[in-house]
Amino acid sequence: MTVETLERKFKSFDGTEIFYRKDIPKTIRAIVVIVHGLCEHLGRYDYVTQKFNDKGLGVYRFDNRGHGKSGGERGYVENFQNFFDDADKAVDLVLAEHEDLPVFMLGHSMGGFIAAGYGMKYPEKLRGQILSGPALLEIEALVKDIKRDNYFEKYPREKAPNALSNLICRDPEVVKAYDEDPLVLKETNLKLLGEAFVKGPIWLSENVNKYEYPCLILHGEDDKIVPSESSKWLYENAPSKDKSIKIYKDCYHEILNEKEEKDKVIDDIITWIEDRI
């Protein structure tokens, strides 16, 4: 299949340059905007993009600020809302270039947090959302030390190592590639962790009543980074009239990279999208 590929940057609301890539098949039925997770980058979604393209789904993906090839201080965000607003600039770009096509958003992990927050802040712009292992609740093991006495606000640029690679997936080749990837952040600032995983979940809980997008919520049953309760919380509390949840047995955090299950997960996403085109 012929696929048009383009890599560029767009300026976000505050002038930060956001690196993005689009992969558009010749025959196209819808667009999916992919939002990646903490410390990673858009290049880790090549396989998913190829599978989507094969089914006539165009893909736009971008590096979150402070990640990958985007601008911004590495591993830092001043306010978690900035992530939502960057995503909105990406969606506006897609809508301007494909005004006649339905647009969906797929967010993984912190990208799931961004997608959910986007859904609450920016209704009626998308046809629907897919959330993979979304980090929507406070993860006590990750933030218990930094939230005490607002530590992350007092020492925003103190570093936290990225030490969870062995828990992302059961496939050792995926873990090895992640560890060796020069674009994967090896550390983040405490401010980013505090914004996304302390303040962010509070905001989500206060605004979940505004979430009305059709949504497919996906999680690995054995996710050791973001517990599946996070996905169940959104499913149980979002007022969306079209919502589904799937928990994949034995899978870790990156269900889109699990060796045995990834094709099933991707097929489930494609089927869900096709039913809403």
Looking at the DSSP assignment, which residues form a beta bridge with residue 21? 7, 61
Cα–Cα distance measured from residue 106 to residue 219, given in angstroms and rounded to the nearest whole number: 13
Q: What burial letters (b/e) apply to 242-266, b meaning 16+ CB within 10 Å? A: ebebebbeebbbbbbbbeebbeebb
Q: Which of 219, 240, 253, 268 is catalytic?
A: 253
Angle between helical axes of 110-121 and 200-207 (0-180°, round to 10): 40
41 is catalytic: no
253 is catalytic: yes
Q: Burial, 56: exposed, middle or buried (Cβ in 10 Å; 0-12, 13-18, 19+)?
A: middle
109 is catalytic: yes
CB neighbourhood size of 125 (10 A): 15
Cα–Cα distance measured from residue 190 to residue 112, given in angstroms and rounded to the nearest whole number: 20
Cβ(187)–Cβ(75) below 8 Å: yes
CB neighbourhood size of 276 (10 A): 13
Q: Which of 23, 63, 85, 223 is catalytic?
A: 223
DSSP secondary structure letters along 58-74: EEEEEPPTTSTTS-SST
Mapped onto helix, strand or coil, the DSSP state of residue 165 is helix
Q: Which of 12, 109, 132, 230 is catalytic?
A: 109
Residues with catalytic function: 109, 223, 253
